[in-house]
Structure 1
Amino acid sequence: MSADRRTQADRSAATRKALLEAGRTLFGEIGYAEVSTAAIVKAAGVSRGAMYHQFADKRALFEAVLEDVERDLVRSIGSAVAAAGPADPVESLVVGCLAWLDASAEPGVQRIALLDAPAVLGWERWREIEYRHTIGLMEERLAGAMAAGRIPPQATRPLALVLVGALDEASQHLATGRESPEAMKSVIVQLISGLAGNTGGHP
């Protein structure tokens, strides 16, 4: 690749990064419906033409932002599990779910991934993206726990969807401040412990 092409590719990548960062900030702070393309390009420091060169429209930018949010959630969960170093797959599942709850309770993540995404992208597209990231990670962890004999064998996707639904609902309640994090986390631990046949609150 020539130096000119490298420079052009670098500029394009920098423009895309600036738009994603601006979009994530604005979508997270005031919501998709209230964000104009003019506000996005101003915050990103690029031209309107540069935005439409990278993304077909505001909706396409929002979808790319959601992908980034989902990837960050998966990274946060993975880092928490790696730091805890649990040997037991159910304990690993508990640590991951609690990390997910912490990360998804952040207001910007809430607004983008849980509130606006279904309305902006439609339920099927929203779920398709989640299947590639957070729901997919949940299925993987559940399958590992089943393979290790820690959770009775069953269909992983329905179980993953039920657990994800519980975590999403829990994070929304935490965002309102009406429930204590300790109480909500205790419920999540009990729920996962129950899957493994434990009732004492410990995996």
Structure 2
Amino acid sequence: MARQSERSAATIDAIVSAARNLFMARGFDPVSIDEIAAAAGIAKGGVYHHFSSKRAIFEMVFDRVQSELASQLNARLDANPGPRTPDTIATNILAYLKSASEPGLHRLILIDGPVVLGLKRWREIDDRHFFASIHSGLVAIMGPQADPREVDAAARLVDGAVMEAALETGAAAKPLEVARLYCAMLKDMLSGLQKGTSRA
């Protein structure tokens, strides 16, 4: 049973890896199940044995990509264990924007993602990987005595701003320049939320 489980996991990994490369290179719509099967080196029936549809494959690809990006960003934070500040958060956001501006990732995460998965499911997956980190950063900035409703609202606003920045950065002729501009503005916004700063 263990070997069968390992073979099944290996087959799923092959399908997801092949689909990821194809989706990033060409987008969701032009890619067929036949192409995914051929790229994975398995029969078409083998794909349908593990996935009910191309959308189901895309969801696993999307989830894994988001997980990898979140792990990279969390590793950056762990490597700098000092207090979370507007500067450290903005620096981490810049790293995310750089990754998300790569054409294949930009297409997968921000163009095809919400269309293929639907906005609700797309946001659920994004929240699972990124929102907790954003929220904890806002708690650190605003202080433990901050109204939880204000922290939640601020985290949602920052999350939305990052998504907008990622869309603009990925579409820009000079993505790094645009990413730095957005991060500078986000840093100023976060500084205004720091504990002890009046928001009256």
For this structure pair, what is the TM-score category when the shorter chain's length is used for normalisation? 0.7 to 0.9
Q: Tell me if structure 1 keeps the 8 A contact 2:102–2:170.
A: yes
Shift of residue 15 of structure 1? 0.2
CA gap 1:189/1:85 in 2 versus in 1, 3 angstroms: farther
- Equivalent of 2:132, from 130, 136, 152? 136
* Residue 105 of structure 1 pairs with residue 101 of structure 2: yes
1:52-106 per-residue CA deviation (whole Å, 9 max, x = no partner) reads 1211111101011110011011012112223344434333312221121112112
Q: Mark the CA change 1:180 to 1:129 in structure 2 (over 3 Å): closer, same or farther.
A: closer
4+ runs deviating over 6 angstroms: none
Kindly indicate whether residue 89 of structure 2 is the aligned counterpart of residue 89 of structure 1: no
Partner residue in 1 for 2:180? 185
1:78 pairs, out of 64, 74, 77, with 74
1:104-151, CA deviations, whole angstroms, 9 ceiling, x for partnerless residues? 1122221111101111111111111111112332223222322367x8
- 1:182 is displaced (CA, Å) by 3.6
Unmatched tracts of structure 1, length 5 or more: 199-203
TM-score (norm 2): 0.84
Question: Cα distance 1:101–1:9, how it changes in 2: closer, same or farther (>3 A)?
Answer: same
Q: Which moved more, 1:33-42 or 1:76-85?
A: 76-85
Residue 156 (1) aligns with residue 151 (2): yes
- Indicate the percent of aligned positions where both proteins have the same amino acid: 33
Range moving further from structure 2, 36-45 or 126-135: 126-135
Q: Is the 8 A contact 2:165 2:179 kept in 1?
A: yes
TM superposition shift of 1:180: 5.0
1:66 partnered with 2:62: yes
Aligned to 1:201: none
Normalised by the size of structure 1, how large is the TM-score?
0.83
Where do 5+ consecutive residues of structure 2 fail to align?
194-200
